[in-house]
Chains A and B, each alone.
Chain A
Amino acid sequence: MAFESLSERLQEIFKKLRGKGKLTEKDIKEAMREVKVALLEADVNFKVVKDFINSVTEKALGQEVMESLTPGQQVIKIVNDELIALMGSTQSRLNIGNKVPAVIMMVGLQGSGKTTACGKLANLLKKQGKNPLLVACDVVRPAAIKQLQVVGANVNVPVFTMGDKVNPVDIAKASIDYARSHNSDVIIIDTAGRLHIDEELMEELVNIKKAVQPDEILLVVDAMTGQDAVNVASSFNERLDITGVILTKLDGDTRGGAALSIKAVTQKPIKYVGAGEKLTDLEPFYPDRMASRILGMGDVLTLIEKA
Chain B
Amino acid sequence: LKTRENLTSKIDSIVTIGRKIDEELLEELEEILILADIGISTTSKIIEGIRQKAKERKIYDASQIKKLLAEEVYEILQKDVEPFTLTSPMVILVVGVNGVGKTTTIGKLAYLYKKEGKKVILAAGDTFRAAAIDQLEIWAERVNCPIIKHQEGSDPASVIFDGIQASKARGIDILICDTAGRLHNKKNLMEELRKIRKVIDREYPEARVETFLVLDATTGQNALQQAKIFKEVSDITGIVLTKLDGTAKGGIVVAIKSELNVPIRYIGIGEGIEDLQAFDAKSFVSAIFQ
A: which residues have CB within 8 A of B?
A: 1, 37, 40-43, 45-46, 109-113, 115, 140-144, 146-147, 149-151, 154, 195-197, 222, 224-229, 231-232, 249, 251-255, 257-258, 277
Q: Please, which residues of chain A bring their CB within 8 A of the CB of B101? A: 110-111
Q: Is the CB of A143 within 8 A of B134?
A: yes
Which residues B80-99 have CB closer than 8 A to chain A? Answer: 97-99
B52 proximal to A (CB < 8 A): no
Q: Is the CB of B248 within 8 A of A226?
A: yes
Docked Cα-Cα span, A43 to B98, in Å, equals 19
Contact among B128, B131, B216, B252 for A147, CB-based, below 8 A = B131
Q: A226-B220, A252-B184, A253-B185 are in contact. Are A277 and B98 (CB under 8 A)?
A: yes
B135 proximal to A (CB < 8 A): yes
Docked Cα-Cα span, A112 to B246, in Å, equals 14
Which residues B29-51 have CB closer than 8 A to chain A? Answer: 31, 34-37, 39-41
B139's closest neighbor in chain A, by CB?
A142
Q: Is the CB of A224 within 8 A of B220?
A: yes
Contact among A45, A140, A195 for B246, CB-based, below 8 A = A195
B245 proximal to A (CB < 8 A): yes
Q: Please, which residues of chain A bring their CB within 8 A of the CB of B219? A: 222, 224-226
B243 proximal to A (CB < 8 A): yes
Contact with A along B236-255 (1 / 0, CB 8 A): 00000001011111001000
Docked Cα-Cα span, A258 to B97, in Å, equals 18
CB distance from A199 to the nearest CB of B (A): 12
Q: Please, which residues of chain B bring their CB within 8 A of the CB of A40? A: 34, 40
B290 proximal to A (CB < 8 A): no
Q: Is the CB of B246 within 8 A of A197?
A: yes
Docked Cα-Cα span, A43 to B259, in Å, equals 18
Binds A, one of B65-73, B192-200, B221-229: B221-229
B278 proximal to A (CB < 8 A): no
Q: Is the CB of A111 within 8 A of B99?
A: yes
Q: A111-B216, A197-B246, A227-B37 are in contact. Are A43 and B222 (CB under 8 A)?
A: yes
Q: A226-B219, A226-B221, A249-B98 are in contact. Are A195 and B34 (CB under 8 A)?
A: no
Q: Is the CB of A225 within 8 A of B220?
A: yes
Docked Cα-Cα span, A49 to B30, in Å, equals 14
Q: How many residues of B contact A (CB 8 A)?
A: 46
Q: Please, which residues of chain A bring their CB within 8 A of the CB of B41? A: 1
Q: Is the CB of A110 within 8 A of B40?
A: no
Q: Is the CB of B247 within 8 A of A196?
A: yes
Q: Is the CB of B34 within 8 A of A224?
A: no
B168 proximal to A (CB < 8 A): no
Q: Please, which residues of chain A bring their CB within 8 A of the CB of B132? A: 143
Q: Is the CB of A140 within 8 A of B271?
A: yes
Q: A142-B139, A146-B131, A253-B222 are in contact. Are A228 and B247 (CB under 8 A)?
A: yes
Q: Is the CB of B97 within 8 A of A224?
A: yes
B130 proximal to A (CB < 8 A): yes
B141's closest neighbor in chain A, by CB?
A142
Contact among B130, B183, B185, B220 for A257, CB-based, below 8 A = B220
For the complex of A and B, the 3 pairs showing the least CB-CB separation, nearest first, are: A226-B220, A111-B99, A43-B220
Docked Cα-Cα span, A111 to B40, in Å, equals 27
Q: Please, which residues of chain B bring their CB within 8 A of the CB of A112? A: 99
Q: A142-B138, A249-B97, A249-B183 are in contact. Are A277 and B129 (CB under 8 A)?
A: yes
Q: Please, which residues of chain A bring their CB within 8 A of the CB of B139? A: 142
Q: Is the CB of A110 within 8 A of B97?
A: no
Q: Is the CB of B221 within 8 A of A195?
A: no
Q: Is the CB of A224 within 8 A of B37?
A: no
CB distance from A202 to the nearest CB of B (A): 13
CB distance from A153 to the nearest CB of B (A): 9
Q: Is the CB of B138 within 8 A of A226?
A: no
Q: A227-B37, A253-B185 are in contact. Are A146 and B134 (CB under 8 A)?
A: yes
Contact with A along B129-165 (1 / 0, CB 8 A): 1111011011100000000000010000000000000
B218 proximal to A (CB < 8 A): yes
Q: Is the CB of B247 within 8 A of A111?
A: no
